[in-house]
Amino acid sequence: MTPRDASDDSSRWSDLERPPLNAGALRRGLVRAGGLWTGVEVVQSTGSTNSDLVALAAAGKAAEGTVLVAEEQTSGRGRLDRQWSAPARSGLFFSVLLEPGDVPVARWGWLPLLTGVAVATGLSRSAGVDTALKWPNDLLVTVGAEERKAGGILAERAGDDAVIVGVGINVSLREDELPVPQAGSLALAGAVATDRDPLLRAVLRSLEHWYDKWRAAGGDPVASGLQETYAAGCATLGRTVRAELPGDRSITGEAVAIDGDGRLVLATEDGVQEPVGAGDIVHLRPA
């Protein structure tokens, strides 16, 4: 789908509780000389910001630090080709273009985890919501006494030199708007603010901070503090989980660590510690 610029759609004022993002103010607050963010574009609607930014990068029309934000995604994608949908202007749906060429490719797998730390940190400061990370890429909030998913992250390569990282966060969704009962939103978790402009600025500034630290350390997760910080905020650690792996295989065990490659380490009943690099993780008991 071809993205439509937000400024071209008068229907953006149809829900006064969900005002449109201010693209000009976002650029003024984020784009600066010497900074990571080089451009911020806001479109009214598109299929997937990740797909659009991958295409722009392939055509040489996007540089590192490009941020593409959609007021609405009609074909948003999560891991394992899952669909992500939400009402227009009810969340933050954006992708960024990163080119960590000075970091060994073997360490690029930390980018989704780095983004999770940055998003959780930025939202905690700006929305006043306690957040947790479910390995490898989910953002969890507490609604009542129930742990629910309020956001997700999807990273994919764009050619040999770039990575596109997409983020989707439910901000103002009401209970009757949730796609599934297990979903949540910042508003349902008691956020002190749901104005998306400052939330997005906080998240992107936090992402810039962590990305700069990680690159300065050559992608080393220990030297940059990323491994320790991710583990401290990871709701998966210390729980019994089931890892559903490719090839219809699964492993059940206690999640005991995040290793140096960003993999989740499970301690099984057989006394084996097995690292999991990809798969779907199911929490089997509360922390």
Q: Is the pLDDT of residue 13 over 70?
A: no
Cα gap 250→245, rounded to integer Å: 5
Residue scoring higher pLDDT (10 or 92):
92
In this structure, are residues 221 and 227 in contact, taking their beta carbons and an 8 Å threshold? yes
Q: What is the mean pLDDT of residues 41-50?
A: 96
**Where residue 278 falls among pLDDT bands split at 50, 70, 90?**
confident
- So what's the pLDDT on residue 216? 98
What's the longest Cα–Cα distance across the chain? 61
Q: Which amino acid appears at position 178 of this protein? A: L
Q: Is the pLDDT of residue 177 over 60?
A: yes
**Where residue 74 falls among pLDDT bands split at 50, 70, 90?**
confident
Q: Is the pLDDT of residue 80 over 60?
A: no
By CB atoms closer than 10 A (0-12, 13-18, 19+), residue 122 is buried
- From residue 37, give the alpha-carbon distance in Å to each of 41, 67, 102: 11, 7, 18
Q: pLDDT digit string (tens) for 229-271?
A: 999 999 999 999 999 998 889 999 999 999 999 999 999 999 9
β-partners of residue 133 are 139, 234
- So what's the pLDDT on residue 10? 39
Average pLDDT of the chain, as a whole number: 92
**Percentage of residues in the chain with pLDDT exceeding 70?**
90
Q: Which of these, 161, 39, 29, 52, lies nearest to 102 by C-alpha position?
A: 161
Cα gap 118→100, rounded to integer Å: 17
- So what's the pLDDT on residue 225? 98
- Signed CA dihedral, 94, 99, 204, 32: sign only: negative
Report the half-sphere exposure of 286 (CA within 13 A, side-chain side): 5
The tokens for 153 are: 């992250």
The tokens for 258 are: 């995040």
- So what's the pLDDT on residue 166? 97
